[in-house]
A and B are shown apart, each in its own frame.
Chain A
Amino acid sequence: MIRYLRLIRIFTGATISAQLEYRANFLGAVLGSLGQVGVALLTIGVLFAQTETVGGWTFREALLVTGFFMLTEGFISVFVQPNMSRIAEAIRTGSMDFTLLKPVDAQFNVSTRYLNVLRFPDLLIGLGLIGYAASALTVTLAGVLTAAVLYLSALSIVYCIWLALSTTAFWFVKTQNMAELFNGIFGAGRFPVSAFPLPVRFLLTFIVPIALITTVPAQAMTGRLTPLLALASPLVALALFAATRWFWLRAVASYTSASS
């Protein structure tokens, strides 16, 4: 365990020093982050200029969902996407061989090797939005703690979906498009799931669990969570983790290197 934490520290150090070489990129990335939050606020502002509530959520409550959405997008672009997008590349060029030969769990290695520090401001913006939205709501400590736990399972759901999609690279050459498709559906997470028509709500909860990622933690904070959903989120996360672990091991077992 300690060995793995030390590895994470070494990986992080290496990837940060590599990225600080390109300082001008940072300005562009900050501009992108600010633009994104501006557009998110405009979207939700325009929606609430017409009505008091959207799907039974007030402006501040819906803003909480947007905050969790921005935070998750930040999490994806800082931690998940930089690693997952390299899996297909490593398989295509054969450098996956070296990863598999190392005396470290290969799934751990491919999942933690890289970071995109340039997108770090996204995380701060997401947290800031959540804080701002919560400041006008009555939030209990128990609510915040439950939200934190549920959000952790939300993050592992996100990680599992991405890993599962990227693992298909062992059979298909390109997986970049799968990620595009996930992003397209994940966009629905910027609104509370009750803002959608009933059939779509069903789809976003049970087929692609977008609702568990952004709506459920926000519900926990505002104290409108049903016990059933509170249980469902960690259970889905655990089940998904076990399934993707199995899928990953199967994929590695069938790996025959780029040259053979």
Chain B
Amino acid sequence: MSPLWKKIRVLFATRFAEMAEYRAEIIIWMLSGTLSLIMMLVWMSQAASAPGGQIRGYDASGFATYFLSVWLVGQLLVVWVGWELDLMIRQGTLSPKLLRPMDPMWIEYASHVAERLVRIGPLLALLVVFALLSGASFTHEWWAYPAALGLIALGFTCRFLYEYTLGLLAFWTESSTSFTEVAWLLYAALGGLFAPLAFYPPWVQNVAVWTPFPYMLGLPAQLLAGKATLAQTGQGALVLLGWVVVFWFVRLAVWRLGLKKYGAVGA
């Protein structure tokens, strides 16, 4: 077994064991992410009272499908690393991690991925219940599922990297958590958490297409709802990949600058 593979396996196994300890909390966190479900109820009842029973081609069950998909994707995109870094930098618990022969980012990344594994079971069970209650029906095209999963993996990596960068701002300011809060607002608004992006004013849509948000949240949701094509998926994946590369280097630069600053304080 190569040393690198062994490293990855140990890292992942320990993170998984840690996350499994939090299983009760993970279910509560899942239940508290209700915003897309609230929007689902509002839009469903709007469609039911609209003339013809639909709004812009979405009937009540169409809205249910879209927003439940958004909920599912959003649950898989959850990232808390900014908050974690803020705490680690402020309390100094980052220091022992710097002594390891590995960038501490990988520990956090493995934690997040392991958490997904703990989350997925109850998540799918809840999804089935919600779908039965709301009358949502997901696409029958088999290729949409791996395509959505690929976008989610890319989107998660992208979100992880920019939240990590924002968390690193704690080296300089005490308010890095409020920056992650603003980033969440952008993600929710431009990603399509409140309504499908096509419902937004054109100028908002024109801004949104240049950001990674619609491709990490709205597009995989549209795939699951059977409203997006393979070509759109490819295009979205390319945009996300571009942003991942950009955020990778931004993170690296901020990390190096931050470490200098951190060393200056501690030593």
Asked if A25 contacts B174 (CB within 8 A), the reply is yes
Per a CB cutoff under 8 Å, which of B38, B175, B188 touches A27?
Answer: B175
B3 at the interface (CB under 8 A from A): no
Which residue, A28, A43, A185, has most C-beta atoms of chain B within 10 A? A28
A-B contact count (CB 8 A): 105
Per a CB cutoff under 8 Å, which of B28, B31, B175 touches A29?
Answer: B175
Asked if A31 contacts B182 (CB within 8 A), the reply is yes
Q: How far is the CA of A28 from the CA of B169 in the complex (A)?
A: 12
Asked if A54 contacts B42 (CB within 8 A), the reply is yes
Q: How far is the CA of A190 from the CA of B188 in the complex (A)?
A: 16
Bin the interface of chain A by size. Answer: 35 or more
Chain A nearest CB, measured from B189 CB (Å): 5
Residues of the B chain whose Cβ atoms lie less than 8 Å from the Cβ of A25: 173-175, 178
Asked if A39 contacts B189 (CB within 8 A), the reply is yes
Given contacts A35-B182, A51-B50, A187-B38, contact A181 B31 (CB under 8 A): yes
Q: How far is the CA of A190 from the CA of B176 in the complex (A)?
A: 27
Asked if B185 contacts A36 (CB within 8 A), the reply is yes
Residues of the A chain whose Cβ atoms lie less than 8 Å from the Cβ of B32: 177, 180-181, 183-184
Please, how many residues of chain B have a CB less than 8 angstroms from a CB on the other chain?
39
24 contacts between A and B (CB under 8 A): A22-B174, A22-B175, A26-B175, A29-B178, A35-B185, A36-B185, A42-B189, A43-B189, A43-B194, A45-B201, A46-B200, A47-B43, A49-B201, A54-B42, A177-B29, A180-B28, A181-B32, A183-B32, A185-B34, A187-B38, A188-B41, A191-B42, A196-B42, A197-B41
Interface residues of A (CB under 8 A from B): 22, 24-29, 31-32, 35-36, 38-39, 42-43, 45-47, 49-51, 54-55, 177, 180-181, 183-185, 187-188, 190-191, 195-197, 200
Interface residues of B (CB under 8 A from A): 25, 28-29, 31-35, 38-39, 41-46, 48, 50, 55-56, 173-179, 181-182, 185-186, 188-189, 194-195, 199-201, 204
Beyond known contacts A50-B199, A184-B34, A195-B42: 11 more, CB 8 A cutoff = A22-B174, A35-B181, A36-B185, A46-B201, A47-B46, A50-B46, A55-B45, A177-B25, A180-B28, A184-B33, A197-B41
